[in-house]
Amino acid sequence: MSLVSTSLKLSPELKQRIQRLAERSNRSAHSFMVEALEREVEREERLADFVQQALKADGAIEQGAEVYGAEDVHQWLTRLAEGKPAKRPKACRR
């Protein structure tokens, strides 16, 4: 992997906050910023993927895909989370 340089203009206050946090975790400010940027890029990518999946699901529903009542799904998930046996909820009509 090749690396490229870039520069960021930070306010003195932000630079100081980054430096303070980096020192607390025994890292360089550079390492701290790179990790923060990686996390944010990953978050944005996951969000974009989530939106695409939601739009696809919405389109499927418009085409007649099964839908489920929110209360039924919540009860089912709660039982599963508690380790209790639970039957999948039945699809409801639109």
The model's pLDDT over 52-81, given as tens digits with 9 standing for 90+, comes to: 999 999 999 999 899 999 999 999 999 999
Give the residue ranges of DSSP H helices in the chain.
12-24, 29-62, 70-81
Percentage of the chain beyond pLDDT 70 is: 98
Q: Does the pLDDT of residue 15 top 70, yes or no?
A: yes
The residue range of the domain holding 81 is 66-94
In a domain, 7, yes or no: no
Place of tokens 């039924």: 72
Q: Same domain for 17 and 46? A: yes
Q: Same domain for 31 and 72? A: no
Place of tokens 């630079």: 15
Q: Same domain for 44 and 19? A: yes
Q: Note the pLDDT of residue 92.
A: 86
- Among residues 38, 33, 3, 1, which one has the least CA distance to residue 15? 33
Q: Does the pLDDT of residue 94 top 70, yes or no?
A: no
Q: Does the pLDDT of residue 30 top 70, yes or no?
A: yes
Q: What's the pTM value of the predicted model, to 2 decimals?
A: 0.69
Q: Same domain for 59 and 18? A: yes
